[in-house]
C-alpha cells in the first residue's frame, strides 16, 4: 500500500479534519502518499431546510461511502456527531480518534451567555437537540434555523441576522477560531450530541490492510465513551436528527458514567437518564440509559417526532 485516498466534504472544517488524519497516516508509514478527494454532499447543498426534514445527517455521509464502494477512495473522515448510529453493510468505523472539547459553544458579540439574552432575542442553530434544550431553559428566546458551514454561520451572525449562535466548540478550535467563543456551555446546561468532539475514520470492512493501519489512529478512552453514547441513539431508533444528547466520561476503576437526554422538538418535555457501568461493555451502558428514557416516556416523544 503506497497511496491512500480520503473522501471528504469540501467545507474548510472537513478539509482540515481530513488533512489532520492524512498527516497522522503519513507519520505512521514512511513513503505513504495520502491524497484528499473533496466532494459535495446532499447535506451541503440543501441549506434552506432542516436536516430532519430531508433525510438527516446521513446526507453528509452517503456520497463519501459511494466513493469508497466505487474504488475512488479508501477511507473517509467524519465528525462523529454527524455519523449515523448504524453504518450500511460493508462499511466499518475503523478508528475513533482522541476527543477534543465535546461542549457546545455560545457565540455572540452582544451577550455573554444564554441567560443574559432577553426575551425575543434570536439564536441560530441547525440542531433540534440544541434548540430543544435552549427552549426548555430559555423559552422566551427565538430559536431560528441556521445552516451552512462554520464560516457561513459566523458571517450571518456578524451581519446581524442573529443575536447569537451555538456551534461545536471543537470545530471552532480546529479552524483557529477559539477566540470567537463567548462561553462554553457545560454539559449540565447543554448535553452534547453523541460523539461530539471526536473524529471517525470509515472504510470498507473488507479492506484488511487499511483497517490495520487505521487501527493505530484509535484512542481507546475516547472510543469507549463514544461507543456508549452512540448506543443510546441506536437503541432509540438510530436517527441522528433526534433531539437527543449523550455524553460519557471515564471514572475511577475502569468505569464509564453516561448521561442521556431526549426531548420533544419544542423543549416542553425533556427526559434525562444517567448510568455508570464497567467500561468493558460500553454499549450495555448505552442501552441501559435508553431503557430508562423509554421507561420515562421516550416512545411517546419518538411517536410525536414520527420516528
Q: What residues are annotated to the active site? A: 82
Contact criterion met (CB below 8 Å) for 258 and 203: no
CA neighbor of 170 nearest in space, from 85, 99, 96: 99
Q: Is residue 192 classed as helix, strand or coil in its secondary structure?
A: coil
Query: CA 108, 109, 112, 118: dihedral to nearest 10 degrees?
Result: -80
Contact criterion met (CB below 8 Å) for 250 and 222: no
First to last CA, the chain: 43
Residue showing cell 452534547:
192
CA neighbor of 129 nearest in space, from 229, 11, 10: 229
Rounded to the nearest 10 degrees, the angle between the axes of helix 220-235 and helix 282-296 is 30
Amino acid at each position: 500500500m503506497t497511496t491512500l485516498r480520503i473522501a471528504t466534504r469540501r467545507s474548510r472544517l472537513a478539509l482540515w479534519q481530513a488533512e489532520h488524519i492524512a498527516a497522522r497516516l503519513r507519520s505512521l508509514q514512511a513513503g505513504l502518499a495520502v491524497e484528499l478527494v473533496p466532494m459535495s454532499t446532499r447535506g451541503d447543498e440543501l441549506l434552506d431546510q432542516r436536516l430532519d426534514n430531508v433525510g438527516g445527517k446521513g446526507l453528509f455521509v452517503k456520497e463519501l461511502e459511494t466513493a469508497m464502494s466505487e474504488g475512488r477512495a479508501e477511507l473517509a473522515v467524519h465528525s462523529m456527531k454527524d455519523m449515523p448510529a448504524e453504518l450500511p453493510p460493508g462499511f466499518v468505523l475503523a478508528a475513533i480518534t482522541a476527543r477534543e472539547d465535546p461542549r457546545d459553544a455560545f457565540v455572540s458579540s452582544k451577550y455573554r451567555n444564554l441567560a443574559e439574552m432577553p426575551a425575543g432575542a434570536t439564536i441560530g442553530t441547525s440542531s433540534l437537540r440544541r434548540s430543544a434544550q435552549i427552549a426548555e431553559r430559555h423559552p422566551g428566546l427565538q430559536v431560528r434555523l441556521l445552516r451552512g458551514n462554520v464560516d457561513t454561520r459566523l458571517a450571518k451572525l456578524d451581519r446581524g441576522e442573529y443575536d447569537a449562535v451555538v456551534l461545536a466548540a471543537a470545530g471552532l478550535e480546529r479552524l483557529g477560531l477559539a477566540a470567537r467563543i463567548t462561553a462554553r456551555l457545560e454539559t449540565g446546561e447543554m448535553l452534547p450530541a453523541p460523539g461530539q468532539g471526536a473524529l471517525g475514520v470509515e472504510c470498507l470492512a473488507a479492506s484488511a490492510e487499511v483497517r490495520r493501519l487505521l487501527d493505530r489512529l484509535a484512542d481507546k478512552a475516547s472510543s469507549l465513551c463514544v461507543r456508549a453514547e452512540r448506543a443510546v441513539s441506536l437503541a432509540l431508533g438510530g436517527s441522528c436528527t433526534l433531539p437527543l444528547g449523550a455524553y460519557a466520561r471515564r471514572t475511577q476503576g475502569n468505569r464509564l458514567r453516561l448521561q442521556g437526554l431526549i426531548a420533544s422538538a419544542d423543549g416542553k418535555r425533556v427526559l434525562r437518564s444517567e448510568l455508570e457501568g464497567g467500561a468493558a461493555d460500553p454499549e450495555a451502558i448505552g442501552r441501559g440509559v435508553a431503557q430508562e428514557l423509554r421507561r420515562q416516556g421516550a416512545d411517546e416523544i419518538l411517536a410525536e417526532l414520527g420516528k
